[in-house]
Amino acid sequence: MDGLIKGLIDVALGHNDDRDEERNSESREDRSRSTWAEVVSGEQDNDEPSGDRRHGHDHNQWNKEEQEQSYGRNEEWESGGSRPSMRPHKAVQEGYERNEDSGQADYKQGRWNRKDEEENNDGWQTVCKKPPKRPHEVQITHWHEYKRPPSEQEYSDHVEHSVNLEPSEEELSDLVKACDKLWELDLNRLVPGKDYQIDCGEGKKVYQKDDMAQGSLFSWLSENVFRRPTFSRFCSLLDNYNPHEGYKEVVTSQEMQEQEAFIEEICRTAPIKYLHKYLSSKDIVSENYQDFKRIMTSLWFNLYGRGGTSSCSSAFEHVFVGEIKNRGEQEVSGFHNWIQFYLEEAKGGVDYQGYIFPRRRGEIPDSETQLLTIQFEWNGVLKSVSSTLIGVSPEFEIALYTLCFYMGREDNHVQLGPYPVNVKCYRLGNKIGSAFPIAEC
């Protein structure tokens, strides 16, 4: 009887409601991580790591990438406050896949199919799952034109001569000035709010694992973006690689053609023309533009060893596409390009987890920010900290990293428009091991 009376008193006073609220709060804090994306990577199961050393480069220099980006952040990154998030649902876009019949890498329009696993037959949904993505499409049909023979390729016109592409004496003597000039020459850089929209979500520290983004980083991107020649040719390269580090890459004649066509296309733009004039004036490359194109193709696409296996990686694959380390605990390495992020996010391969707090209070990124430090999962594997330049053109990034590789050091403290940046550049002899930007304080 005493227990019954006590129970009635608890109900009257609302004590049970308090307990329910505590349980509900614990449930809300127990967030689930996205695990439904799987790697689509060709015949990776048929290849075994050879265990070869990397041609005498036994050091793990590129592994410093994550160390550099995480440096000091566990204690020094500070919360600048939180803001309410008006998150869009993440969007399913048309994915791309390989043409197994032809044996060539080929983009196909096809809806990324996924059953609504969160919903059962009675229509009930699991409340701890992220909201489903809203579909929007990537127009990629014209990319098939890049599969034509070299003699049938059509390229854009060379940049207008009215643009000043001659490096000044001040720029030739100061890498900071030269990099800022490249930013100015990026005529293809997108405009936030006009060409695309991002939602940074909520912030976090590097070591925090909670998913602070309920939706996608990219809310939308103008369909005209992928009609730009350098952008679309860049996209045609992204399915040429096995994302797992340690598996030898097999480069087909078709893929070699795509590489050369990409270099040809970007060499018609202002940033690359400026780069050539800069490096040739320093006697680093030939004044002959055709020779320069061959050097650029070799620098970015020639294969080298990584993770104990020869011919399994390249500068382009690591920096722009990304790789998954399989030694010990899996982790994402490289993957600093926003276009690759957008496409992978669109087809479900990337799960955006939130931005990393800036070191200074009050400097919270917003939809206008074009240098962003983020955390995400790629094919279910975490990248705890990664930085990327949002909206810049492929030719700008190629020019920036190439210039820092030839003219700079491991740390290159430069200015890119409004952003003070440390462009990290790791070398493997005469090759680019890794390159990426880090926001300066």
| Residues labelled as active-site residues | 318, 336, 383
Cβ(201)–Cβ(355) below 8 Å: yes
Q: What's the token pair of residue 292?
A: 């320069």
All residues at 6 or more sequence positions from 353 whose CB lies less than 8 Å from its CB, including other chains: 204, 211, 212, 213, 374, 375, 376, 377, 382
Please state, in angstroms and rounded to a whole number, the distance separating the CA atoms of residues 217 and 128. Answer: 19
Cβ(397)–Cβ(389) below 8 Å: yes
Dihedral of the CA atoms 263, 267, 272, 278 (nearest 10)?
Answer: 110
Length of the chain equals 441
In sequence order, what are the beta bridge partners of 354? 375
Cβ(50)–Cβ(419) below 8 Å: no
Please state, in angstroms and rounded to a whole number, the distance separating the CA atoms of residues 209 and 202. Answer: 13
Please return the burial class of 324, using the count of CB atoms within 10 Å of its CB with bins 0-12, 13-18 and 19+.
buried
The number of helices, as runs of H, and strands, as runs of E, in the chain is 13, 15
Degrees to nearest 5, angle at CA 104 with 272 and 396: 15
Please state, in angstroms and rounded to a whole number, the distance separating the CA atoms of residues 320 and 313. Answer: 12
Distance set, CA 334 to CA 69, 305, 329, 370, 379 (Å): 11, 15, 16, 18, 14
